[in-house]
Chain A
Amino acid sequence: EADIYQTPRYLVIGTGKKITLECSQTMGHDKMYWYQQDPGMELHLIHYSYGVNSTEKGDLSSESTVSRIRTEHFPLTLESARPSHTSQYLCASSKPHYNEQFFGPGTRLTVL
């Protein structure tokens, strides 16, 4: 059973605010991912990590940053939110040598 958590589930903030989206998993998975998904559109990979102190940019250019200080924790930060950042953000993880990714419930972000 996949145990991956994201907080907050919904966030409405004003332009220019700094925000951090939290993602935690209790499965001990090494690999973690952040995706962005707009309604009716495909998931786009924005960041991923192969383990502690490893972070890479994904295929979709993003103004966000990530960190991986602990195996279970992979937060995403936007230094200055803009309306173009409005989207659903999905966190996922997978275990070593396996490719199945397990997703969290997502954070729906709205920037006014």
Chain B
Amino acid sequence: EDQVTQSPEALRLQEGESSSLNCSYTVSGLRGLFWYRQDPGKGPEFLFTLYSAGEEKEKERLKATLTKKESFLHITAPKPEDSATYLCAVLLGFGNEKLTFGTGTRLTIIP
């Protein structure tokens, strides 16, 4: 069964304390892996798409990486405004346009 697992469920960091969030997947025929940020009461905001192992994408303090079994979202020197839930999702084999989401990591940055 295709699965997407995110860890940890919740993470509290001091401002400036770098860390990484994990998204592991057990799917066949991965076509893409997506990272989103979701603030409370709002819809997810698109961050990155990764298509192949070894690929990396960066945006401000965030960097996403992809291996054959997992993806990491690295957060460097975070600020309080980076507090949010970070979701990953996978897109499966050809002909399937549906994203499968993980439950997310709730990140809190303490000033």
Q: Tell whether, in the assembled complex, residue B103 and residue A101 are in contact, meaning their CB atoms are under 8 Å apart.
A: no
Q: Tell whether, in the assembled complex, residue A103 and residue B43 are in contact, meaning their CB atoms are under 8 Å apart.
A: yes
| Interface status of B99 (Cβ within 8 A of chain A) | yes
Q: Tell whether, in the assembled complex, residue A108 and residue B41 are in contact, meaning their CB atoms are under 8 Å apart.
A: yes
Q: Tell whether, in the assembled complex, residue B46 and residue A101 are in contact, meaning their CB atoms are under 8 Å apart.
A: yes
A101 to B103, CA, bound (A): 17
| Interface status of B108 (Cβ within 8 A of chain A) | no
Report A48 CB to chain B, min CB distance, Å. Answer: 7
Please indicate the chain B residues that have their CB under 8 angstroms from the CB of A40 in the complex: 103
Please indicate the chain A residues that have their CB under 8 angstroms from the CB of B25 in the complex: none
- By secondary structure, the B interface counts as strand
Please indicate the chain B residues that have their CB under 8 angstroms from the CB of A103 in the complex: 36, 43-46
CB closest residue in chain B, given A43? B101
- By secondary structure, the A interface counts as loop
Task: Contacts A42-B103, A99-B91, A100-B49 given; indicate if A106 touches B42 (C-beta within 8 A).
Answer: yes
Interface residues on A, range: 20 to 34
Task: Contacts A99-B31, A99-B34, A100-B34 given; indicate if A42 touches B41 (C-beta within 8 A).
Answer: no
Within 8 A of A (CB), among B54-111: 87, 89, 91, 97-99, 101-104
**Centre residue among B42, B43, B103 by max chain A CB count within 10 A:** B43
Within 8 A of B (CB), among A17-65: 31, 40-43, 45, 48, 50, 58-59
Give me 20 A-to-B residue pairs in the complex whose CB atoms sit less than 8 angstroms apart, sorted by A's number: A6-B43, A41-B103, A42-B87, A42-B102, A42-B104, A43-B44, A48-B97, A48-B98, A91-B43, A99-B32, A99-B49, A99-B91, A99-B99, A100-B34, A100-B49, A101-B34, A102-B46, A103-B44, A105-B43, A106-B41
Mark B residues whose CB is within 8 Å of A.
Answer: 4, 31-32, 34, 36, 41-46, 49, 87, 89, 91, 97-99, 101-104
